[in-house]
């Protein structure tokens, strides 16, 4: 029986993404509430920023965040979520996440 070789086809979305992405890295934020029974953490967010490239199926890296909810955080996340960035912008975003939006101590407890 003759084997038929399948052709790889791209979806309209994949084609549009190839034509419109302008950077090397795609940033995707995955956030959730703080999983803790203590009510003092009710207004905290914890999660990760996935760093992807167009050629890789899964994230190539991720950076964590853990902070109280704030307008500053939501503006930052809105600015970069789902956005293609170049290497220098990626480094700046990672630095900002570490310095401003990762508030945990050495035991991984939130710093109030």
Q: By mean pLDDT, which of 37-41, 59-63, 83-87, 97-101 is the weakest?
A: 37-41
* pLDDT per residue as tens digits for the range 80-101: 999 999 999 999 999 999 999 8
What is the DSSP track for 29-68?
EEEEE---S-GGGTTEEEEEEEEE-TT-SS-SEEEEEEEE
Mean pLDDT calculated for residue range 55-66? 89
Distance of CA 8 to the CA centre of its chain: 28
Residues 95, 5: Cα–Cα separation, whole Å: 47
Per-residue exposure over 31-40, b if at least 16 CB sit within 10 Å of its own CB, e if not: beebeeeeee
In the structure, what pLDDT confidence band is assigned to residue 67 with cuts at 50, 70 and 90?
Answer: confident
Answer whether 74's CB lies under 8 Å from 60's CB.
Answer: no
Q: Count other C-beta atoms under 10 Å from residue 24's C-beta.
A: 14
Cα Dmax for the chain: 68
């Amino acid at each position: 029986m003759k084997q038929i070789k399948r052709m790889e086809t791209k979806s309209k979305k994949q084609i549009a993404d190839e034509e419109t992405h302008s950077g090397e890295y795609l940033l995707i934020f995955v956030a959730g509430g703080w999983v803790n029974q203590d009510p003092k953490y009710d207004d905290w967010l914890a999660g990760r920023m996935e760093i992807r490239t167009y050629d890789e199926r899964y994230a190539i890296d991720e950076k964590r965040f853990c902070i109280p909810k704030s307008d500053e955080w939501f503006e930052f996340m809105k600015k970069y979520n789902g956005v293609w960035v170049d290497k220098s912008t990626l480094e700046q975003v990672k630095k900002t996440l570490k310095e401003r939006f990762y508030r945990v101590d050495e035991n991984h407890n939130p710093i109030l």
